[in-house]
Amino acid sequence: MWFQQLIREQTGCATYMVGSSDCGECAVFDPLWDIEPYLAAARSKGMNITRVIDSHSHADHVSGARRLVEATGAELFLPERIETTYKATLLADGVSIRFGEVELEVLHVPGHRPEQINLLVRDHSRGAEPWCILTADCLMVGDLARPDLAQDGSAGAATLFRESLPRLLALPDFTEVYPGHVAGST
């Protein structure tokens, strides 16, 4: 399995690429507007971008998902609970996307946004246990997501603590966490 984090330093937004060494396909999670870094990374690894996934409706950056789909012919995946007017495959909680040795399992984690999903990443060449989780804007480094951007803050916080955190805390201790924001975030 190939894994790469890409960061837009001006805003601290982090996005991810997960690729299969077995089949030469990769997925991009939460792509930013400038798609060239993804195209270049895939070329450098001999990968084809076949899946593009947005975790939620972003308020802090413009998604490059549809631009990346247009440039590569990849399939676009969005959370099941998102409101959209364009073609996409909608992902429900518990659904897995499998390509080669890579498995991406969808975890619905509302609180920041009602439709928010995370991806639990498994590398089946290493074992069946999850290797890492891509938390988008749900978990940050030393913090939790803002619960007040898409709903009443009290309701969002209650949902985050009641529904999402218990799911994340139940993951094996060795599961690495990769957030959607790092230092420099707005």
What confidence tens digit (pLDDT) does each residue in 46-101 have?
999 999 999 977 655 578 999 999 999 999 999 998 888 889 999 999 999 999 99
Is 39 part of a structural domain of the chain? yes
Q: Are 63 and 32 contacting, i.e. CB atoms less than 8 angstroms apart?
A: yes
List the domain range (segments joined by +) for residue 166: 2-179
- Provide the number of structural domains found in the chain: 1
185 in a structural domain: no
Q: Give the residue among 63, 70, 80 at the shortest CA–CA distance from 49.
A: 70
Least confident of 94-98, 113-117, 144-148: 144-148
Q: What is the DSSP string of 80-149?
A: TT---SS--EEEPTT-EEEETTEEEEEEE--SSSTT-EEEEEEETTT-SS--EEEEETTEETTEE--SSS
Contact 111, 157 (CB under 8 A): yes
Whole-number mean pLDDT of the chain? 90
In a domain, 64, yes or no: yes
The residue count of the chain comes to 186
| CA 51 – CA 14 distance, rounded (Å) | 18
* Alpha carbon distance, N-terminus to C-terminus of the chain: 32
114, 160 Cβ separation under 8 angstroms: no
Whole-angstrom CA distances from 182 to 6, 82, 115, 150, 171 are 11, 25, 22, 22, 22
Write the CATH number for 128: 3.60.15.10
Residue 120 has pLDDT above 90, yes or no: yes
Would 184 be classed as within a structural domain?
no
Residue 50 maps to a domain: yes
pTM of the entire predicted model: 0.91
Any domain includes 158:
yes
Is residue 162 one of the residues assigned to a domain?
yes
- Dihedral (C-alpha) 81, 86, 87, 88: value to the nearest 10 degrees? -40
* Cα–Cα distance list, 60 to 8, 95, 159, 186 (Å): 12, 27, 21, 8
CA geometry: angle 180, 185, 186, nearest 5 deg? 120
Check whether 107 has a pLDDT greater than 90. Answer: yes
